């Protein structure tokens, strides 16, 4: 497989990009190379690295718009949990496909998922061709989230690996998973070279609960049980930390210092955090402490979108008002948390368009009004555009969307919609 | 002129809408009426009232992305003002057209503008066919913003009126316009049955400045000089207050009480307010005091988008986190501030799709992923969709966009882009 992309704007200059296999092989002017597929940007498209959504629950696309404007507890207890009890493997398969459709259409080339029925997530993702880190949910109070279930899934996955998919160990949270199981998760991840993915300090209540039970803050608790430490093996690809902590809102300075020392990645989920009134992510402090900050949408039931363009705008603007300083979280930085930093967290060789890197990239239609007059592409991308400006998407060297067309779109929307009715009827 | 819209979802039911002249004449099932133009929604489109953008500086689309992530003063003094000094009538004409293109594409049928060269704004708006309240900027320190200039423009407009356009008297702010000129503006508006449009309490600095100079808060100052009072004439169409106050962030309880008593409308500009780190609008208090709250994008130099869909999401989510209460500013309420309340502020008989109302409406493509699976249309519109879900737009009974196509789009983008280069070169 090879793809030649002609005449696209890359870092402000007109360039050709040659993709061979799953990698960017060559970038240059007027490349005269033979390729199986060709896209001509005609100078009217820009190439950008694909966006990396570092925390979501993709299949919850089935619940988009189902339960809004409710108190967090009512949202969970009266609406989301009863419906999720009914969710089947088949539902997750179609829900994930619907989510991937949305992600492709809005320029995301990789997502870090956490949900039930990992097998269905894997199958849907493989079929759609997107890159993902799949975290089959581990939680104490639902059989579907048992460690036995996870081990079985992991064994099966090892027999039929995919270069697009990694498995992460994803214990739900410190309040949803016992100390013993958290330690098991940590050890299993270390032994098998896997990422860890967990919700952390999303609400003030969670912190208070931890203080009450463990007499310490959530990060201190995780540190104490050894969850945050780097895996021991010096040859491990996990060097530099393997913990991905979603939300991470209610952190004090001491906790931030621990996260930095342990080389954790934290995921900023601006829309979900403010929609559920959880709080505002301490971006500036984490940035100053040099913690790796990445960006995520959270699930479509609490956002309600998977469009990382919209998420970038929220990410920046929210910090400006939090700090009452319009220079905080500038566009360039925010674009990096949505690309480079995500790649670093998920340990994939992407997030930039460079020779030798994975060919995970998007083309932007520069004729869109939101990108006109075009003083500054990164500003326009972060502050003005929506995912609809993405014309083409390439993941792992394969064209998944061309001129906004994706194969099978209508069927996925229909099947997913059909399944939601049953899930929300009581 | 007549338009028959068949098979669209209106308030949850499949309906036909018949438009005659500039009004909605009939709404019903299977209407069998002759019409010049016909649109068939095939049950796959929903009809919604057009969105009303209650505060913008349309022509500033020329500066989208030109100056971001700067301190407010530097943004104004080093970037925006020097460029605005160079802005010509021709620039404003093309900048306004570019903005209107964006507004039509994202479902806005009416906007409340404040900018230089009102003549050019009027001309561009007439040609594009959108409804607008045009406020030629009155400001003390620029000749283009003199009262003489305004009077001349108003005389000319009176000779060549348009049913799409109203003139507002738009003194920039209490710090940009002298007391005498504010009083003149108030009297002129009262005498001629016009709306008043002013920036108010956008920054804490503005409030402090007023306290220092006038020994009172901005709203108290405006009240004291008689600016906020209802025009005296009992027959005036301005009964119920004619003041539209943009931003209105830094208000105390006493000021809110005055605004309620004076039946002022306040414009919430969430994106601009947080992008410039001005502060967060006191939505809950204003709502409790029953002040008419409407929604605006502000200019594209401080947003940087004119998409009211994105603005609605920011409007709601920002209040939820401000109040740390996820039930505040629910989707339905936010949709109303973007439609009904805007119509009330601008005193136009629109903002709802009802027989007898102005035919200012949009059709939504329900096949969009952001509206799938479709549990709740209003939630999806506010929390998940972007302006790209708008397929068709009708303003004043005329189809301005059909299947996302607008006549002359390419030329407008080209001409506007050409003009920006000169404006930002020094």
Q: How many CB pairs under 8 A join A and B?
A: 196
Residue B38 belongs to a domain with what CATH number?
A: 2.30.40.10
- Per residue of chain B (426 residues), what is the pLDDT tens digit? 899 999 999 999 999 999 999 999 999 999 999 999 999 999 999 999 999 999 999 999 999 999 999 988 888 899 998 999 999 999 999 999 999 999 999 999 999 999 999 999 999 999 999 999 999 999 998 999 999 999 999 999 999 999 999 999 999 999 999 999 999 999 999 999 999 999 999 999 999 999 999 999 999 999 999 999 876 655 566 666 899 999 999 999 999 999 999 999 999 999 999 999 999 999 999 999 999 999 999 999 999 999 999 999 999 999 999 999 999 999 999 999 999 999 999 999 999 999 999 999 999 999 999 999 999 999 999 999 999 999 999 999 999 999 999 999 999 999 999 999 889 888
Instruction: Examine residue B339 and state whether it is found in any structural domain, yes or no.
Output: yes
**What integer pLDDT is reported at residue B72 of this predicted model?**
81
Contacts of B379 in chain A (CB under 8 A): 65, 68-69, 304
Instruction: Encode pLDDT of A39-83 as tens digits.
Output: 999 999 999 999 999 999 999 999 999 999 998 888 889 999 899
State whether B313 and A271 contact (CB < 8 Å). yes
Are A22 and A56 in the same domain?
no
Mean of the pLDDT values across residues A89-107? 98
User: Most B CBs within 10 Å: which of A44, A68, A105, A325, as the mutation test of the B interface?
Assistant: A68
State whether A72 and B375 contact (CB < 8 Å). no
Short-list B391, B384, B321, CA closest to B362: B391
How near does any CA of chain B get to the CA of A335, in Å?
Answer: 13
State whether A305 and B370 contact (CB < 8 Å). yes
The minimal CB distance from B275 to the residues A320, A388, A413 is found for A320
**What integer pLDDT is reported at residue B336 of this predicted model?**
98
Q: What is the mean pLDDT of chain A?
A: 96
**Confidence at A366, pLDDT banded by 50, 70, 90:** very high
How near does any CA of chain A get to the CA of B26, in Å?
Answer: 31
Query: How many folded domains does chain B comprise?
Result: 2
State whether B275 and A383 contact (CB < 8 Å). yes
- Domain with A116, as residue range(s), is 51-346
Are A14 and A156 in the same domain?
no
Contacts of B380 in chain A (CB under 8 A): 64-65, 304
Spatial separation of the C-alpha atoms in residues B263 and B112, rounded to whole Å: 18
Are A242 and A287 in the same domain?
yes
Q: Is the model's pLDDT at A235 over the cut of 60?
A: no
Mean of the pLDDT values across residues A130-154? 96
State whether B321 and A274 contact (CB < 8 Å). yes
Is B41 within 8 Å of B329 (Cβ atoms)? no
Instruction: Examine residue A426 and state whether it is found in any structural domain, yes or no.
Output: no
3-state secondary structure chain A: CEEEEEEEEECCEEEEEEEECCEEEEEECCCCCCCCEEEEEEEEEEEEECEEEEEECHHHHHHCCCCCCCCHHHHHHHHHHHHHHHCCHHHHHHHHHHHHHHHHHCCEEEEEEEECCHHHHHHHHHHHCCEEEEEEEECCCCHHHCHHHHHHHHHHHHHCCCCCEEEEEEECCCCCCCHHHHHHHHHHHHHCCCEEEEEECCCHHHHHHHHHHHCCCHHHHHHHCCCCCCCCCCCCCCCCCCEEEEECCCCCHHHHHHHHHCCCEEEECHHHHHHCCCCCCCHHHHHHCCCEEEECCCCCCCCCCCCHHHHHHHHHHHHHHHHCCCCCCCHHHHHHHCCHHHHHHHCCCCCCCCCCCECCEEEEECCCHHHCCCCCHHHHHHHHCCHHHEEEEEECCEEEEECCECCCHHHHHHHHHHHHHHHCCC
Instruction: Encode pLDDT of A396-411 as tens digits.
Output: 999 999 999 999 999 9
Are A14 and A91 in the same domain?
no
Is A331 within 8 Å of A378 (Cβ atoms)? yes
How near does any CA of chain A get to the CA of B97, in Å?
Answer: 11
Contacts of B66 in chain A (CB under 8 A): 375-376
**What integer pLDDT is reported at residue A31 of this predicted model?**
97
**What integer pLDDT is reported at residue A230 of this predicted model?**
76
Residue of chain B whose alpha carbon sits nearest to that of A62: B373
The minimal CB distance from B326 to the residues A276, A310, A388 is found for A276
A179: Cα separation from own chain's centroid: 26
The minimal CB distance from B369 to the residues A71, A102, A376 is found for A102
Are B44 and B91 in the same domain?
no
Instruction: Examine residue B353 and state whether it is found in any structural domain, yes or no.
Output: no
**Confidence at A238, pLDDT banded by 50, 70, 90:** low
For chain A, the first-to-last Cα distance in angstroms comes to 49
How near does any CA of chain A get to the CA of B250, in Å?
Answer: 14
Instruction: Examine residue B354 and state whether it is found in any structural domain, yes or no.
Output: no
**Confidence at A229, pLDDT banded by 50, 70, 90:** confident
**CA angle (B14, B18, B24) in 5-degree steps:** 105
Are B28 and B93 in the same domain?
no
Are A35 and A93 in the same domain?
no
Residue B110 belongs to a domain with what CATH number?
A: 3.20.20.140
Is A119 within 8 Å of A165 (Cβ atoms)? no
How near does any CA of chain A get to the CA of B390, in Å?
Answer: 12
Are A329 and A384 in the same domain?
no
Q: Dihedral through CA B90, CA B96, CA B101, CA B106, nearest 10?
A: 170
Are B39 and B125 in the same domain?
no
State whether B384 and A65 contact (CB < 8 Å). yes
User: Most B CBs within 10 Å: which of A321, A390, A425, as the mutation test of the B interface?
Assistant: A321
Does the reported pTM lie above 0.80?
yes
Instruction: Examine residue A417 and state whether it is found in any structural domain, yes or no.
Output: no
State whether B384 and A64 contact (CB < 8 Å). yes
Q: What are phi and psi of B257, to 5 degrees?
A: -65, -40
Instruction: Examine residue A230 and state whether it is found in any structural domain, yes or no.
Output: yes
Instruction: Examine residue B351 and state whether it is found in any structural domain, yes or no.
Output: no
- B351: alpha, beta or left, given left = phi > 0 and alpha = psi -120 to 50? left
Contacts of A413 in chain B (CB under 8 A): 367, 369, 372
User: Most B CBs within 10 Å: which of A372, A388, A389, as the mutation test of the B interface?
Assistant: A372
- B250: alpha, beta or left, given left = phi > 0 and alpha = psi -120 to 50? beta
Short-list A56, A107, A124, CA closest to A419: A124
Instruction: Examine residue B420 and state whether it is found in any structural domain, yes or no.
Output: no
Are B278 and B377 in the same domain?
no
Is B254 within 8 Å of B223 (Cβ atoms)? no
Spatial separation of the C-alpha atoms in residues B399 and B394, rounded to whole Å: 4
Spatial separation of the C-alpha atoms in residues B157 and B87, rounded to whole Å: 22
- Complex ipTM: 0.97
Are B82 and B39 in the same domain?
no
Structure-model confidence comparison of residues A89 and B72, the more confident one? A89
State whether B370 and A320 contact (CB < 8 Å). no
**What integer pLDDT is reported at residue B421 of this predicted model?**
85
Strand order across the B292-295 sheet: B51-56, B108-115, B131-138, B165-171, B195-200, B243-247, B265-268, B292-295
**DSSP class per residue in B193-217:** T-EEEEEES-SHHHHHHHHHHHSS-
CB atoms within 10 A of CB A23: 18
**What integer pLDDT is reported at residue B129 of this predicted model?**
98
Are B121 and B192 in the same domain?
yes
Kind of pairing between the strands at B23-28 and A398-401: unpaired
Is B69 within 8 Å of A330 (Cβ atoms)? yes
Kind of pairing between the strands at B13-20 and B2-10: antiparallel
Longest dimension (CA), chain A: 66
Spatial separation of the C-alpha atoms in residues A109 and A102, rounded to whole Å: 11
Measured CA distances, B348 to A293, B105, B136, B137, B339 (Å): 47, 21, 19, 22, 11
How near does any CA of chain B get to the CA of A19, in Å?
Answer: 30
């Amino acid at each position: 497989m090879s793809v030649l992309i002609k005449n696209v704007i890359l870092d402000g200059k007109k360039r050709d990009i040659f993709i061979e296999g799953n990698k960017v092989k060559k970038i240059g002017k007027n490349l005269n190379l033979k390729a199986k597929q060709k896209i001509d940007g005609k100078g009217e498209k820009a190439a950008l690295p694909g966006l990396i959504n570092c925390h979501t629950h993709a299949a919850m696309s089935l619940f988009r718009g189902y339960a809004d404007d409710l108190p967090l507890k009512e949202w969970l207890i009266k609406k989301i949990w009863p419906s999720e009890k009914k969710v089947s493997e088949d539902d997750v398969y179609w829900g994930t496909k619907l989510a991937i459709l949305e992600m492709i259409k809005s320029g995301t080339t990789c997502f870090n998922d956490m949900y039930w029925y990992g097998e269905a997530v894997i199958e849907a993702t493989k079929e759609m061709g997107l890159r993902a880190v799949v975290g089959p949910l581990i939680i104490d109070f639902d059989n579907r989230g048992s460690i036995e279930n996870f081990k079985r899934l992991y064994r099966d996955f090892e027999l039929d690996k995919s270069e697009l998919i990694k498995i992460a160990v994803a214990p739900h949270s410190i309040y949803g998973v016992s100390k013993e199981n958290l330690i098991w998760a940590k050890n299993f991840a270390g032994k098998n070279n896997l990422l860890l993915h967990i919700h952390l300090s999303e609400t003030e209540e969670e912190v208070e609960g931890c203080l009450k039970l463990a007499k310490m803050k959530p990060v201190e608790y995780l540190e104490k049980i050894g969850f945050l430490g780097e895996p021991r093996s010096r040859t491990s690809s996990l060097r530099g930390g393997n913990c991905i902590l979603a939300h991470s809102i209610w952190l004090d300075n001491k906790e931030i210092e621990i996260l930095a020392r342990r080389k954790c990645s934290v995921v900023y989920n601006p829309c979900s955090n403010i929609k559920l009134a959880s709080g505002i992510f301490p971006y500036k402090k984490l940035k100053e402490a040099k913690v790796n900050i990445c960006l995520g949408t959270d699930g479509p039931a609490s956002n309600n979108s998977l469009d990382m363009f919209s998420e970038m705008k929220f990410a920046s603007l929210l910090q400006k008002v939090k700090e009452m300083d319009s220079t905080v979280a500038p566009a360039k930085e925010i674009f990096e948390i949505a690309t480079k930093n995500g790649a670093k967290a998920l340990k994939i060789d992407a997030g930039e368009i460079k020779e030798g890197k994975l060919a995970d990239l998007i083309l932007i239609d520069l004729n869109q009004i939101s990108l006109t007059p075009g003083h500054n592409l990164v500003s326009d991308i972060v502050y003005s555009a929506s995912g609809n400006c993405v014309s083409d998407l390439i993941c792992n060297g394969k064209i998944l969307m061309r001129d906004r067309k994706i194969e099978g779109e209508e069927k996925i929307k229909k099947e997913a919609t059909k399944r939601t009715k049953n899930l929300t009827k009581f």
